[in-house]
Amino acid sequence: MTTSNTPSPQPTRRILIAGGGYNTTFLAYMAQLTGKVRPRICYLPTAVGDHPDAIVGFYRACEPLDVAPFVQKMFIESLSQTRGFDEVLLSMDAIVASGGNTLNQQAIWKAQGVDVVLREAWERGIVLGGASAGSLCWFEEGTTDSRPKALSIVQGLGFLPGSHSPHYDAEPGRRPLYHQLIGSGRMKAGYACDNDAGILFEGTDVARVVATRAGATAYHVSATDGQVSERALDAVLL
């Protein structure tokens, strides 16, 4: 009997983000990326404090799709949550993070050890994604409205290098602040997404730019000697 010493191929690490509006169309694309029949998609509504309206919205968005939706709350107790976060999340085919308060989301995930589990999920090829806080969370840093008074900087999980700005066309303060931070060197170069536009990353590289609305797109923003360059990326309509 001959045994092969050829190592097993590594799973493709995928993250599908959007600037805002992670709707049924984005969820359908996420499901397709898993390559599974009736994939299990887990929703993490941490950034909205496990708000019931967000949870209902996720289930409604999944209704037209041939998927098995699941919600993992963070505000739990051990009598009703009998499986560990690792057992739940690593049994999924895809995980989508909600929008909301990124700063609070990160604090809770790190306190519960979910940040470590999500990295393992990514390494295993479980598709990750989300919009707004659900897109910011995967980068090293980005612009957020998670604090009072003004947009500010938030640190993410760092799976994707560089920075991110969601809601690029929907909130007037996003573009000028992103340009200012990158131009001054306070923030790394990165990617901005309009609402209804998104980016599929394979590993840490851009594999595809997509949109669910004509005219929506994503951008790469960088700076050289303080001069900001913004490059629009061609988006394919889903």
What would you report as the CA-atom Rg of the chain, rounded to the nearest whole angstrom? 18
CA 103 centroid distance within chain? 14
Catalytic residue among 135, 163, 167, 179: 167
What's the token pair of residue 184? Answer: 């001054």
Cα–Cα dist 20/16, whole Å: 12
Contact 199, 193 (CB under 8 A): yes
Cα–Cα dist 102/113, whole Å: 16
Residue 8 designated active-site: no
Catalytic residue among 98, 132, 135, 165: 132
Residue 167 designated active-site: yes
Long-range contacts of 226-231 (CB under 8 A, 24+ apart): 226/183, 226/184, 226/185, 227/183, 228/179, 228/182, 228/183, 230/179, 230/192
Separation in Å, CA 190 to CA 87, 136, 168, 218: 33, 11, 13, 11
Residues involved in catalysis: 132, 167
